[in-house]
Amino acid sequence: MKLNIHSIIAKVVILLVILISMLALFLLYGSFYEKLIIGLLSSGIIVSLLLYKSLKPLDQIANNLESLNEEVYKKAAHLKDAQRIAKVGSWEYNIVTKSFTISDEAYRMLGLKHSTQVHWEDFLNFTDDCDYPKVVAILEDAIKNGSQFNMKYALNLTNNKKIYVQTSGKVRKKQDGSAKITAVSMDISNEIENKQKIEQLAYYDSLTNLANRLLLQDRITNSMQLAKRNDTKLAVMFLDLDHFKLINDTLGHGVGDNLLMYISEVLKGQVREADTVSRFGGDEFVILLSSIKTVEDAKYIAEKIQAALQQKHTIGTHQLYITTSIGVAIYPEHAQNVNDLITNADIAMYDAKNSGRNCCRFYQQSMGKSISKRLNIEQDLAEAIKSKNGIEVYYQAKIDTITNEITGAEALVRWVHQRDGLIYPDEFIYIAESTGLMIELGYLIIENAVLQAKALKELGFSNLVIAINLSLRQFQDVNLVAYISSIIKAHDISPSQLEFEITESISMYNLNETLRILTELSAIGVSIAIDDFGTGHSSLLYLKKFPIKTLKIDRSFVMDMTTDNNDRVIAQTIILMAKSLNLSTVAEGVETLEQANLLKKMGCNQLQGYFFSKPISKEEFTKFLQTYI
């Protein structure tokens, strides 16, 4: 309970006056003094009433003053608390006298001790370089117009911390010439950081930190507007890594993730700052090349990317080779809106996959149709494999260069589609691989080839070798060796009647694993050939270690060897190298007598190609064998 000295004095005075008046009335009551006493009494009452009256407001004012004091004191404390809790600091700058004061909380926000003298210039200098011009301009404007202002900007504090503030203030100019800026600055770092986090989640891929689909679409939209205005083009490049799923499946998701992160960096290194590299999930990347001048520019970048990816990459303890299929769509040529542009780049990418992977295709209108066909193909292919109806194996003869005799044949799969007719492996093997049908399809091909070997054996051609292609997916099948071994036994053929062709890239894929499988296969008694030799990366050291018998010189070297000196030298080198490693050689794609003669002269052991025979059905092949001279 508060003590109020003024009110006590006032009350005592009034009481005294009343008491004196009563005493006078009592002691001096009489006729002479009657009037005087009553006069005194009444004047006493009047005086006391007057006194009381005049003292009462004083008393109240005193009361009010005191509670006001208390209130102000409380409010100041509250204000300080509030500033601290709300992270709001206040400051005032006198533009005329240049005096600058800041609140406790402003000190705290700036990370400064209260004893530090802060000048206006020091305060402004905390502003982040990027925001400085904006902040100065807003303040100058407010000073000029005597107006309010509101701005958000970043401060770089002395402890290397960056905070974000929102500052609202007012410039007060008086007629006496004085001018002050009074403002509050709120620390909104948390809000900004949260916003940034949300933005990161919404617009960036969490594994690679690359832009995601949403951000890419945004960027394409902006680029399109820019291209329209400046009469430039833009390219959307759809990239899909070849055989990435296999890396994931065989080496684990950890290695897969690391590879994706690594590739993200490689891709970023191949484009300009203004371009956008994004990830669409899985092993799909989409790159926006903003404002290019010609289609050639996109071609150049695509080639650069392919070259950069085609190196040997070290991911942890693994040495990996990757290739990528790229589809490109150009604005304005190939599409007029964002989604069509991306879809058409995707379609072109599928076409690149279709053309044997590791290549780049630019969108063409005719491509769209083959994609919609692909969906039906998937279902139809699954059906054909399941029912074993429509999958056929063709045979292409191989000829010995010394004896000119047929040494055997390569088994090449064909799909005879009920509606579309004959479909070549380049059009469906990759679909079988990407949909998990390849192992089943592979078993079917091996079974066909073994039955053919059996038929040949029964016809007296037991020395002929049937070569079967193995894709990477098949090669990784844990049951592969057991399957081959059991089917050889089941049909009672000799294992020497079979050969398996694997490509260089398969053989170099996982060296220890490859060595193990090849060793198991050769233990059964089947032989191994390296297919498409010269196109991939292989190490001589391992070729020596692997139990292989044959190198197949890739068709591309044979094709131009009679006109292109380089190709001829490569073919000759492969043949010499094979000889020194004690391997036999087969040249594929022999189409002319000239090629055949040259290869024979070079010392190649066997020839295969249209010059001798195209791949033909098993019935035709049997006939071919019996009539071949």
Interface positions with Ca ion (CB under 5 A)? 469, 501, 531-532, 588
Cβ density class 407-420: b for 16+ within 10 Å, e for less: bbbbbbbbbebeee
Cβ proximity to ligand C2E: between 306 and 608 the closer is 608
The entry of Ca ion, ligand C2E, none near residue 396 (CB within 5 to 8 angstroms by kind) is ligand C2E
Q: By CB under 6 A, what part of segment 271-290 binds ligand C2E?
A: none
Neighbours of 207 (CB within 10 A): 14
Residue 599 to residues 231, 581, 591, Cα–Cα distance (Å): 54, 19, 12
State the binding partner of 424 from ligand C2E, Ca ion, none, CB within 5 to 8 A by kind.
ligand C2E
Dist CA 470 CA 502 (whole Å): 5
**According to the binding rule CB under 6 A, does residue 89 interact with ligand C2E?**
no
499 touching ligand C2E, by CB under 6 A: no
**Measured from the CB of residue 583, what is the shortest distance to Ca ion in angstroms?**
16
Query: Which stretch, 212-220, 269-277, 425-433, 597-605, contacts ligand C2E (CB under 6 A)?
Result: 425-433
- Whole-number minimum distance, CB 302 to Ca ion, in Å? 26
Contact at 8 Å (CB) between 561 and 595?
A: yes
Strand partners, 412: 394
**Residue 217 CB contacts under 8 Å (≥ 6 apart), including other chains:** 338, 339, 342
Cβ proximity to ligand C2E: between 131 and 501 the closer is: 501
Is 471 a binder of ligand C2E (CB under 6 A)? yes
Tell me the C-alpha distance between 11 and 55, whole Å: 9
CA-based end-to-end distance of the chain: 129
Least Å distance, CB 544 to ligand C2E, is 23
Q: Which is nearer to ligand C2E, 89 or 615 (CB)?
A: 615
Q: Binding to ligand C2E (CB under 6 A): which residues in 572-601?
A: 588-591
Site for ligand C2E in 524-563 (CB under 6 A): 531-532, 555
CA distance 303 to 296: 10
Selected from 109, 320, 384, 412, the binder of ligand C2E by CB under 6 A is 412
Site for ligand C2E in 183-242 (CB under 6 A): none
Q: Tell me the closest approach of the beta carbon of residue 595 to Ca ion, in angstroms.
A: 15
Does the footprint of ligand C2E cover residue 413 (CB under 6 A)? Answer: yes
Nearer to Ca ion, 240 or 499 (CB): 499
Q: Is 302 in the site for ligand C2E (CB under 6 A)?
A: no
**What distance in Å separates the CA atoms of residue 401 and residue 387, rounded to the nearest whole number?**
41
Q: What letter does residue 276 receive in the DSSP assignment? A: E
Choose which of 429, 444, 453, 570 interacts with ligand C2E (CB under 6 A).
429
Map the footprint of ligand C2E across residues 382-401, applying CB under 6 A: 396
**Distances from the Cα of 22 to the Cαs of 10, 19, 47, 429, 540, in angstroms?**
19, 5, 14, 127, 134
Helices (H) and strands (E) in the chain, counts: 23, 21
Contact 358, 324 (CB under 8 A): yes
Task: Give the DSSP letter of residue 616.
Answer: B
CB of 363 to ligand C2E, least distance (A): 25
Pick between residue 94 and residue 535 the one whose CB is nearest to ligand C2E.
535
Assess 606 for contact with ligand C2E (CB under 6 A). no
Measure the CA–CA gap between 537 and 338, rounded to whole angstroms: 38
Q: Name the residues that contact ligand C2E, by CB under 6 A.
A: 396, 411-413, 424-426, 429, 445, 469-471, 531-532, 555, 588-591, 609-610, 615
